[in-house]
Amino acid sequence: MRALITGITGQDGSYLADFLLGKGYEVYGMVRRSSTESFERINHIIDKVTLKQADLLDQLSLIELIKDSKPDEIYNLGAQSFVPTSWNQPVLTGEFTALGVTRVLEAIRLVNPKIKFYQASSSEMFGKVRAVPQNESTPFHPRSPYGVAKAYGHFITVNYRESYDIFACSGILFNHESPRRGKEFVTRKITSEVAKIKLGKAKKLYLGNLEAKRDWGFAGDYVEAMWLMLQQAQADDFVIGTGETHSVKEFVEIAFDHVGLDYKKYVESKKEFFRPAEVDLLVADNTKAKKVLGWQPKVSFDELVKMMVDADLKLQEMARVA
Ligand code: NAP
Ligand code: GDD
C-alpha cells in the first residue's frame, strides 16, 4: 500500500508517517518549496519516506504529484492551522484550508477516482456549540475564518463522495497535542514555558483566556483513527475526541504542579492573547468512532500534560548543555 500525506512536516503528518511506515506502507509526503527546509519532525524517518514538492495553492502541481506517486490513499493534513492567524490572513487561510481541499479532490477525480481520501476536519467547526457533547449530527457554527474554511473543506469532501462516489472521509478531530505540537498552540506554549521557568530561563507565562475548555487528546492516538476510517467498507464521517473537557487553567495547574511550582506566581492573562470570537467549550461524543472503528484514546489528559512537560524539560536541558 502507498499513502500520500499532505502536511507531512506538521505534527499530525509526522505521527501519521510513523504509523503508516509501521504498517508497512510506502509513504510519500508532499512538501511546499521553501528557502529553508523545516523537516524537524520527520528527520528521524527522512530516509524512509519520499518527499515531493507541490502546493495546495497550485492545482497542476497536485495533479502531477498524484500521477507521479500513484497513492492508494491520500491524507490531506496540510492547512493553515493556527486559529489566530486566520483573522490576520483570512483570504490565505481560505485558499489553503478550504479551496486546497477542492484542489486535492479535483486532482483525485481527474487522475484516479479510486484513491481513498481523508480530510482533516476540525471540532473548531462546532464553534459556538449548539449541543453538548458534539457528535456527527451537531450543526456547525464556526467562530473564526479558520473554522469557516474547515466547514467548507468538510462539506466539499461530503459532496465529492456523493457526487462522484469517491471514497472520501471527513475526520472531525478535537484538539490533539504532543511534544511535536507547534509552540504557538496553548498546550505547547504552556509546557515549553513551564520548562524554561523551572530551569530559571523565564520568569512569567502570558496567556489569554484561561476559562476556555477543550477536549484534548494525544496526536499519536488520533492518527490511528484517520487510518481506520480509510479501512472501512464505506466512506463516512467521524468525530474523534476523548469525551472529556478541561479548561486552559486546569492544563496550566497540572503542568506547573508536575515541576513542583505554583502557577499563580507565574501566569498572567493578557488581552492581546484573547480572540475576537472565542470557542468556549468543546467536548466530543465519540460513540460512533468507538462502535464502528473500534477506536479509543489511550493517553489520558493527565498523562498528556506530563508527557509534554517532560519532553520540554529534556529539550531545555539539552539546549543548556549544548
Ligand atoms: P500543523 O502542525 O500546523 O501542520 C500543518 C501542515 O500543513 C505543515 O506540514 C505545513 O507545512 C502544511 N501546509 C501549510 N500550508 C500548506 C500549503 N499551502 N501547501 C502544502 N502544505 C501546507 O498542523 P497539525 O496540528 O499537524 O494538523 C494537521 C491538520 O489537521 C491540519 O489541517 C489542521 O487544521 C487539522 N486539525 C488539527 C487538529 C489539532 O488539534 N492538531 C484538530 C483538528 C484538525 P510547512 O511545514 O511547510 O508549514
Ligand atoms: N494559542 C493560544 N495562546 N491559545 C490560548 C492562549 C494563548 O496564549 N491563552 C488562552 N488560549 C486559549 C484559546 O483562546 C483557545 O480557547 C484555547 O486556548 C486553545 O487554543 P489553541 O491551542 O490555539 O487551539 P485551538 O483550539 O484554537 O485550535 C486547535 O484545535 C483545533 C481543533 O479544535 C488547532 O489545532 C486547530 O488547527 C484545530 O482545528
Give pLDDT tens digits for 244-288: 999 999 999 999 999 999 999 999 999 999 999 999 999 999 999
Instruction: Give how far Cα 181 sits from Cα of 32, 116, 286, 298, 301, Å.
Output: 19, 27, 23, 18, 15
- Which residue, chain included where needed, has cell 484534548? 216
* pLDDT tens per residue across span 240-255: 999 999 999 999 999 9
CA distance 296 to 83: 26
CATH 3.90.25.10 segments of the chain: 182-214+244-283+298-321
Q: 182-214+244-283+298-321: which CATH topology?
A: UDP-galactose 4-epimerase; domain 1 (3.90.25)
In this predicted structure, the answer to whether residue 320 has a pLDDT above a threshold of 80 is no
Work out which ligand 1 atom sits closest to the CA atom of 56.
Answer: 19
- Residue 120 Cα: closest atom of ligand 2: 39
Which residue has the least CA distance to atom 9 on ligand 2? Answer: 208
Q: Give the pLDDT score at 295.
A: 98
How much is the average pLDDT of 86-105?
A: 98
Is the CB of 134 inside a 6 Å radius of any atom of ligand 2? no
The ligand 2 atom nearest the CA atom of 248? 18
Share of the chain above pLDDT 90, in %: 98
Ligand 1 atom nearest the C-alpha of 6 is: 21
Q: Tell whether ligand 2 has an atom less than 6 A from the beta carbon of residue 189.
A: yes
* Ligand 2 centroid from CA 271, angstroms: 15
Give 206's contacts (C-beta < 8 A, 6+ positions apart): 267, 268, 269, 270, 273
Closest listed residue to residue 116, CA positions, set 239, 5, 238, 240? 5
First to last CA, the chain: 41
Q: Name the strand (E) or helix (H) holding 30.
A: strand 26-31
- CB of 228 shorter than 6 A to ligand 2: no
Report which protein residue has its CA nearest ligand 1's atom 38. 175
Ligand 1 geometric centre to CA of 7 (Å): 5
Catalytic residues: 122, 124, 146
Lookup: cell for 244: 472529556
Say if ligand 2 is within 6 A of residue 213 CB.
no
Q: Is the CB of 145 under 6 A from ligand 1?
A: no
> How does DSSP classify residue 284?
B
Residue 182 Cα to ligand 1 middle (Å): 10
Q: How confident is the model at residue 299 (pLDDT cuts 50, 70, 90)?
A: very high
DSSP string, 49-67: EEEEE--TT-HHHHHHHHH
Cβ burial, residue 153 (10 Å; 0-12/13-18/19+): buried
Please tell me the distance between residue 264's alpha carbon and the centre of ligand 1 in angstroms. Answer: 33
Residue range(s) occupied by CATH 3.40.50.720 in the chain: 2-176+217-240
State the Cα–Cα distance between residues 187 and 248, nearest whole angstrom. 8
Atom of ligand 1 nearest to the CA of 97: 32
How is residue 173 annotated by DSSP? E
Bridge partners, 76 (sequence order): 6, 119
Across the range 130-156, mean pLDDT stands at 98
Regarding the beta carbon of 120 and ligand 1, being less than 6 Å apart is answered: yes
Position 55 pLDDT exceeds 70: yes
Q: What is the mean pLDDT of the chain?
A: 98
- Whether the Cβ atoms of residue 109 and residue 41 lie closer than 8 Å to each other: no
**38: pLDDT strictly greater than 90:** no
Query: Which among 152, 214, 215 is the best mutation to test ligand 2's pocket, defined by most ligand atoms within 8 Å of the CB?
Result: 214
Tell me how far apart the alpha carbons of residues 33 and 27 are, in angstroms, rounded to a whole number: 19
Cα separation, 172 vs 241, in Å, equals 9
* Residue located via cell numbers 481541499: 101
Backbone angles phi, psi at 127, to 5 degrees: 50, -110
* Domain 2-176+217-240 in CATH 3.40.50.720: yes
Instruction: Give residue 322's pLDDT.
Output: 67
- For residue 317, the CA-to-ligand 1 centroid distance in Å is 28
Amino acid at 154: H
158: confidence class by pLDDT, cuts 50, 70, 90: very high
